[in-house]
Amino acid sequence: MTRDEIIEQLAVKDPAALFAEADRVRKENVGDAVHLRGLIEFSNVCGKDCLYCGLRRSNRHVGRYRMEVDEIYATARQAVALGYKSVVMQSGESCQYPTDDMCRLVARIKSDLNLAVTLSIGEKTRAEYAALKDAGADRFLLRFETSSEKLFGELKPDSSYEERMRCLGWLRELGYQVGSGIMVGLPGQTLAMIADDILLMKKLDLDMIGIGPFIANPQTPLEGSSCGTLDLTLRTLAVIRIVTRNTHLPATTAMGSIDKQGRQKALKCGANVLMPNVTPTKYRAQYQLYPGKICIEDKPGDCFLCISGMVKMLGRTIADDPGHSLKR
Ligand code: SAH
Ligand code: SF4
């Protein structure tokens, strides 16, 4: 699709045909199996001050936590017990774990638990990314958030678009399976910008793409801004599926948080991945990037039951492999 065609689809009056085509392309390229990645939100300490995010360092309303390395390991073991073949370890940025400790943890999870390990811990030096890769990390998620340099600069005052792109380049060079993505409905974001985001995703030849609606957080400077809609998020997802064919695309928690059926709808228009939360319940309420996040009172086993039921209801199956990239 050209840029104009993408813009046209994002604005199309009735998206039914777009969604049907995305579902067909999903089935043809990645099949009916849904991959589950257990999500461990291991620390909400963050050194950055992104305007949109509830974990930003200036937010004094959050009680900060930092799980001990042994507790993170025990949580990964619980993910195995629930049958997950892969975990995503996510946190705020610069949350004060020495790289050596993180490397030992990743190596231990890899050797003892045989899980595919995805990190989502923000911007690091090339040497740190390299050490974590050597320790066994398989994948890295780092959303570029928006391809508009201007908007990026406004929303992430202590980072730069250039640095984000440099990090994505390093991750690729180092042999990670690379995931990136955006928020849909950011203040000031236009359909043309989303079209550019999608073209950039294609150019970066990403292994995984995670998107979600922007949800305004009252504890941030973007309090009162209008939020992204599920409708535009699903249109964006569908176009991404059609344009990038066999990329792994999650139905994200943010989609499920703005609409009870958000993730189910996403699975029907392009998504093939779900990320059940395995974070210990006591920490969940404090890991709120945005308000209204689902599952904060649930236990890891509850999330497994909910998600496996969802997959079954849709007539799909749960994948029994770690769901590595289909790109390379
Ligand atoms: N600190 C890491 C990972 C945690 S944030 C990082 O920034 O990369 C993970 C993602 O949450 C971000 O990439 C962003 O896209 C999303 N996010 C943050 N605040 C949000 C909000 N208010 N609404 C929707 N998504 C949000
Ligand atoms: Fe920190 Fe990531 Fe939130 Fe930015 S988006 S404030 S880096 S946790």
Strands 177-184 and 139-141: parallel
Q: Which residues of 105-117 are buried (b: 16+ CB within 10 A; e: fewer)?
A: bbbbbbeebebbb
CA distances from 313 to 127, 137, 154, 250, 303 (A): 45, 33, 42, 17, 15
pLDDT at 328 over 90: no
- CA-nearest residue for atom 25, ligand 1, is 214
Residue 82 has pLDDT above 90, yes or no: yes
Cβ-proximal residues to 26 (8 Å cutoff; 6+ apart), any chain: 241, 249, 270, 271, 272
Stretch 155-184: mean pLDDT, rounded? 98
Contact between residue 48 and residue 57 where contact means Cβ atoms under 8 Å apart:
yes
**What is the distance in A from the centroid of ligand 1 to the CA of 315?**
31
Tell which atom from ligand 2 comes closest to the C-alpha of 44: 8
**Confidence band (pLDDT; 50, 70, 90) for 99?**
very high
Instruction: Spell out the residues 6+ positions from residue 302 whose beta carbon is closer than 8 angstroms to its own.
Output: 295
- Assess whether pLDDT exceeds 80 at residue 95: no
171 closest CA partner among 211, 145, 206? 206
Among protein residues, the one whose CA lies closest to atom 5 of ligand 2: 53
pLDDT at 295: 96
The per-residue pLDDT for 306 is 96
Give the integer Cα–Cα distance in Å for 207 and 172.
10
8 A C-beta contact, residue 174 and residue 128: no
Measured over the CA atoms of residue 231, residue 1, residue 31 and residue 178, the dihedral's sign is negative
- Arithmetic mean of pLDDT, 306-314: 97
- In the 8-state DSSP scheme, what is residue 283? H
Number of the ligand 2 atom closest to the C-alpha atom of 156: 4
- Domains identified in the chain and CATH numbers: 3-315 (3.20.20.70)
State pTM to two decimals. 0.98
What confidence tier does 178 reach under pLDDT thresholds 50, 70, 90? very high
pLDDT at 51: 98
Whether the per-residue pLDDT at 268 is higher than 90: the answer is: yes
Residues with CB under 6 A from ligand 2: 46, 48, 50, 53, 55-56, 92-93, 122, 289
Atom of ligand 1 nearest to the CA of 92: 1
> What's the mean pLDDT in 259-269?
98
Q: How confident is the model at residue 94 (pLDDT cuts 50, 70, 90)?
A: confident
Q: What is the DSSP string of 222-256?
A: TTTPPPPPHHHHHHHHHHHHHHHSS-B-EE-HHHH
Residues enclosing ligand 1, CB less than 6 A?
A: 52-53, 90, 92-93, 120, 122, 142-143, 145, 183, 212, 214-215, 217, 254, 289-290
CA of 289, closest atom in ligand 2 = 3
pLDDT band for position 31 (cuts 50, 70, 90): very high
What is the atom index within ligand 1 of the atom nearest the CA of 289?
A: 19
Q: Atom 2 of ligand 2 has which residue's CA nearest to it? A: 92
